[in-house]
Every structure is written in C-alpha cells, then in structure tokens.
Amino acid sequence: MSYTDQLIRAGTWVEVPGGGRTIAGPGVTVSGANVLELFVRGTDSRIYRNRTGNFPFGPWTKVEGDGKTESTPNAVNFNGELNLFVRGTDDRILRNRSGGAGFGTWLKVEGGGLTFSAPAPVVFGNRLHLFVRGTDQGIHRNSSSGGSFGNRWREIGGKTLSAPCAVVFQNRLNLFVRGTDNRIYRNVSADGSTFGGWLEVEGGGLTHDGPCAVVLNNQLHLFVQGTDDRIYRNRSAGSGFADRWQEVEGGGRTLSGPGATVFGNAIELFVRGTDDRIYRQFASA
C-alpha cells in the first residue's frame, strides 16, 4: 500500500492533498518506478499531475509542454516511458512522454484522428493500443510497437457518447463504452485488432460518462458514474458480470466518470467531486 493508505479506510472518500480542482474525471496509472501517477484537467484546461508512492501526495504541478485539454488526461507505462494522451483543444489526439525526469513536447498522434472525448491507452501483446470516440461517435483504434502510431485509424464498430475504456483481462483486450442509450457495453479481442461484437454488461446499469475498469486478483472490476451521479461498481471472474450494480461505499457523488488503477494490491479509485475537488478511496484485496 502507498504512503497515505494508513490514513484512509475502505469506504471513506478523502480529498487528494494539494487543493486541486478539475472539470473532468481524473486519469490514473502506475509508472514503472511503482509510483501512482494522477492526472487531471485543471479549471484552466491545462494538464496537472500529482504523485504518491513511498511518499505522500504533494502539490499539483503543471505537466511540461504547456498543453491544454477539453477532457480527462490518460496515461500508461510502455517501454520504460510514461505515455500521456489528451484530447487537444482542436479535438486532435496528442501525446507526451516521460522517461522519469519530466515530460517533453506535445505531439499529434499519427493518423490525423479527431475525438470529442479522452483517449484510452492500453498495453497488450507488446503493443501500445489507443482507442478514441470519433467525431462520428464511432469507436476507432490505432497502435504502436514503440515508435510511431499507424497512419490510419481503424473503426471497430459501435457508437459511444463518451470516452472508451480498455483493460487486459485473462489474456484478452476488453473494451467498454457508454452506448448511445446510456447502457454499458463490452467488446473483447484476443489479438487487439479483431473484436467479437458489442454485448451489454449484465445488471442493467446506466451511465452519463465513460466507464473505467481494472483487474485485481483475477477479477475484472468495472466502475461508472450513475445517472444519479453516484458511483457504481460491478465485477466479473470471467464468465460474466453480476446481475446487479452496487453503489460504491461512502456515498460519494461525481460529475464525471471515475478513474481507477491497482496499486499496492488495492484498487485506488478517484473521482471529481460535485465541488470539482479530487477525491480518493481504496479497496484492499
């Protein structure tokens, strides 16, 4: 567990130190140095970062490169670098990278794609896969083996009104979206390029934003913002999800989709509060 876990009980929402505010959902990942990296869109639309590991969260710092975004920043560790993706203010998809010292220059992801929501990166099959909601509401993908991305975005099929979410579970790439009917849908690929088809996640859940998913102890955990702005959870051991969504303990509310990662054998869950502050809780294994 991280430095501050002794201050937090499962089921209790605690504000992330530093006094940050956001107008989108938080993005969170774990770096190769076993540091929890938290990113938000500030109220000035700039991109901010906070971190914890064997040290507490500190002040929020602006990510180098002076980028701006209209949505949640999302990052993933790939080939020893932290890769950070955002939707630019011109709806283009931008990438910045850090090898540990700091971030550099924001560059457009190859392929000329546009998006109205946050990009969703995931590492699968030794490739960095990137999924976006296109300006046509379709779901599009691109990938990289370590250098550039492809010069063409490929459509998966299906439509969404929010950012997609991607996670690897039982050696398959699992993609989740909010459908145009606000229901939650899942698509699965064994190779990262061919998908089997969209199926509604069991339980009849509804959401107003993109889902987020993590894997802990061979269970797939899925989190959403409910239509009542409460935070809900479902889980799967492989065969399917439960037939009922459960509200996350603590009675929290959010105005955006949640963000989650696994850190120190616990699920770390982050949300934008109704006051635009950033809150956190964890569920241990």
34, amino acid identity:
N
Cα(107)–Cα(94) distance, rounded to whole angstroms?
5
Q: Report how far residue 21's alpha carbon sits from residue 125's, in angstroms, rounded to the nearest whole number.
A: 36
One digit per residue, the tens of pLDDT, for the chain of length 285 reads: 443 443 345 689 999 999 999 999 999 999 988 999 999 999 999 999 999 998 999 999 999 999 999 999 999 999 999 999 999 999 999 999 999 889 999 999 999 999 999 999 999 999 999 999 999 999 999 999 998 999 999 999 999 999 999 999 999 999 999 999 999 999 999 999 999 999 999 999 999 999 999 999 999 999 999 999 999 999 999 989 999 999 999 999 999 999 999 999 999 999 999 999 999 998 765
pLDDT of res. 4: 41
Length of the chain in residues, anyone?
285
- Give the span between the Cα atoms of 128 and 198, in whole angstroms: 22
Would you state the structure tokens that stand for residue 283, as one six-digit string? 């569920």
* Amino acid 94: pLDDT: 98
Q: Are 279 and 7 in contact (CB under 8 A)?
A: no
Residue type, 227: T
CA distances from 282 to 2, 38, 180, 202 (A): 11, 14, 30, 24
Q: Domain-by-domain residue ranges, the chain?
A: 5-284
pLDDT of residue 167: 98
Sheet holding 93-98, edge to edge: 74-78, 81-87, 93-98, 107-108
| Structure tokens, 18 | 């530093």
Please tell me the class of the 5-284 domain. Answer: mainly beta
